[in-house]
């Protein structure tokens, strides 16, 4: 049974010491655990960086064996309406649980920023009415979508995307535990495609190993369905030298392989960010690719748009070198 587990669940942190990244926030959670008095908290940050895992570790440390009956975990995106708040959350807040003095039941609400305003107003009342027995931890991507009355009742902790070294460290631990055959460029590809998202990195590791039995660069890119980074690096080199025709030709082959303009642009953006060449040109290219992404989002995901981007960048390079 253990071998059939999704690795994301199998390797979910059990204690705060096992959480990777955001060490300053984790230290604050450790301090809260030591005091044993949990405030209402809003956890803010992109998905896959350990917000929910961290608060579950905190709840486990504070409540111990009482966690099963003392914690309610919900995802607000499953049901955004007021009835969920009134029925499930209020019902749990009213429930009697035998806890030690100073301990509280905990409601963990993922994606709280997806709640309707009416549901948030109802939640605000419950937070106030049951403050003696229940604490609330709201996880969200954008705290500005929460009403001020909720924000003012909570301590706000902001999580950042994980660094590549932090993701790499965790992946290596799993690779060792699962006896995975891998290459260095395969590990690099996993950290590259994760973009700071530990959840995505672990899922891609499992999918690559399950599908191919070997975690190397080529297999990771197949699983993640991203264009070949080496080709994009070649295109960037052509752009740096102002060579439009070979850059366009190679980009056309990537389009012909079936990759979407948005996926190409996202990956290319990361390639440019990681480039160690001239910083002024790098800044200009990032500026131009931002314009390109905006046009793609407006509904113009064509090769013509991509060619225009390449031509503009090549002209910028020529002008820069002719100074």
Do residues 213 and 294 both lie within one domain?
no
User: Do residues 204 and 194 touch, judged by C-beta distance below 8 A?
Assistant: yes
Residue whose entry in the numeric block shows the structure tokens 């937070």: 127
Do residues 37 and 104 both lie within one domain?
yes
For β-strands 134-140 and 41-44, DSSP reports them as: parallel
Show the domain range for 143.
2-158
Do residues 260 and 174 both lie within one domain?
no
Do residues 173 and 207 both lie within one domain?
yes
Do residues 281 and 249 both lie within one domain?
yes
Q: Which CATH number goes with the domain that contains 189?
A: 1.10.8.60
Do residues 7 and 146 both lie within one domain?
yes
Question: What pLDDT tens digit does each residue of the chain (323 aa) get?
Answer: 355 689 999 999 999 999 999 999 999 999 999 988 899 999 999 999 999 999 999 999 999 989 999 999 998 777 666 777 888 899 999 999 988 888 999 999 999 999 999 999 999 999 999 999 999 999 999 999 999 999 999 999 999 999 999 999 999 999 999 999 999 999 999 999 999 999 999 999 999 999 999 999 999 999 998 898 999 999 999 999 999 999 999 999 999 999 999 989 999 999 999 898 888 999 999 999 999 999 999 988 889 999 999 999 999 999 887 76
Do residues 131 and 147 both lie within one domain?
yes
CA distance 57 to 137: 13
Do residues 152 and 9 both lie within one domain?
yes
- Cβ neighbours of 23 (radius 10 Å): 10
Do residues 145 and 210 both lie within one domain?
no
102 burial level (CB within 10 Å; 0-12, 13-18, 19+): exposed
Q: Which long-range contacts (CB under 8 A, 24 or more apart) does 247-251 make?
A: 247/310, 247/314, 248/307, 248/310, 248/311, 251/303, 251/306, 251/307, 251/310
Q: pLDDT (tens digit, 9 = 90+) per residue, 60-84?
A: 999 998 999 999 999 877 766 677 7
Do residues 129 and 187 both lie within one domain?
no
Q: Which CATH number goes with the domain that contains 282?
A: 1.20.272.10
Q: pLDDT (tens digit, 9 = 90+) per residue, 220-268?
A: 999 998 898 999 999 999 999 999 999 999 999 999 999 999 989 999 9
pLDDT computed for residue 101 by the predictor: 85
Q: Which CATH number goes with the domain that contains 22?
A: 3.40.50.300
pLDDT computed for residue 1 by the predictor: 39
Do residues 278 and 134 both lie within one domain?
no
- Pick the last residue of a domain from 200, 224, 248: 224
- Pick the last residue of a domain from 110, 130, 158: 158
Stated length of the chain: 323
Residue whose entry in the numeric block shows the structure tokens 């709840």: 59
> Which neighbouring-strand residues pair with 158?
44
CA distance 172 to 212: 18
Output DSSP code: residue 112: G
Q: How many domains does the chain have?
A: 3
- Pick the last residue of a domain from 172, 200, 224: 224
Do residues 8 and 147 both lie within one domain?
yes
């Amino acid at each position: 049974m253990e071998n059939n587990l999704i690795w994301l669940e199998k390797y979910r942190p059990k204690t705060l010491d096992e959480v990777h990244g955001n060490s300053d926030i984790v230290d604050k959670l450790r301090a809260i655990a030591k005091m044993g008095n949990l405030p209402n908290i809003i956890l803010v940050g992109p998905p896959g960086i350990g917000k929910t895992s961290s608060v579950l570790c905190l709840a486990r440390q504070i409540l111990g064996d009482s966690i099963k009956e003392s914690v309610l975990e919900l995802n607000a995106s499953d049901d955004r309406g007021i009835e969920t708040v009134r029925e499930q959350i209020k019902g749990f807040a009213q429930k009697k649980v035998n806890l030690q003095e100073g301990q509280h039941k905990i409601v963990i609400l993922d994606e709280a920023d997806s709640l309707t305003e009416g549901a948030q107003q109802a939640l605000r009342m419950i937070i106030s009415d049951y403050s003696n027995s229940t604490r609330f931890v709201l996880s969200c991507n954008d705290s500005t979508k929460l009403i001020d009355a909720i924000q003012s009742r909570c301590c706000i902790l902001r999580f950042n995307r994980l660094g590549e070294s932090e993701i790499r460290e965790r992946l290596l631990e799993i690779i060792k535990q699962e006896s995975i055959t891998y290459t260095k460029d395969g590990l690099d590809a996993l950290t590259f495609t994760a973009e700071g998202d530990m959840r995505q990195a672990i899922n891609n590791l499992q999918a690559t190993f399950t599908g191919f039995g070997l975690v190397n660069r080529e297999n990771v890119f197949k699983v993640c369905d991203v264009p070949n980074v080496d080709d994009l690096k070649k295109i960037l080199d052509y752009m740096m030298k102002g060579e439009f025709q070979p850059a366009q030709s190679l980009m056309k082959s990537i389009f012909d392989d079936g990759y979407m303009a948005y996926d190409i642009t996202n990956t290319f953006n990361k390639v440019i960010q990681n480039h160690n060449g001239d910083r002024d040109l790098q800044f200009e290219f990032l500026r131009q690719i931002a314009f390109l992404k905006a046009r793609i989002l407006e509904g113009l995901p064509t090769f013509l748009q991509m060619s225009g981007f390449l031509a503009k960048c090549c002209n910028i390079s020529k002008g820069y070198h002719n100074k």
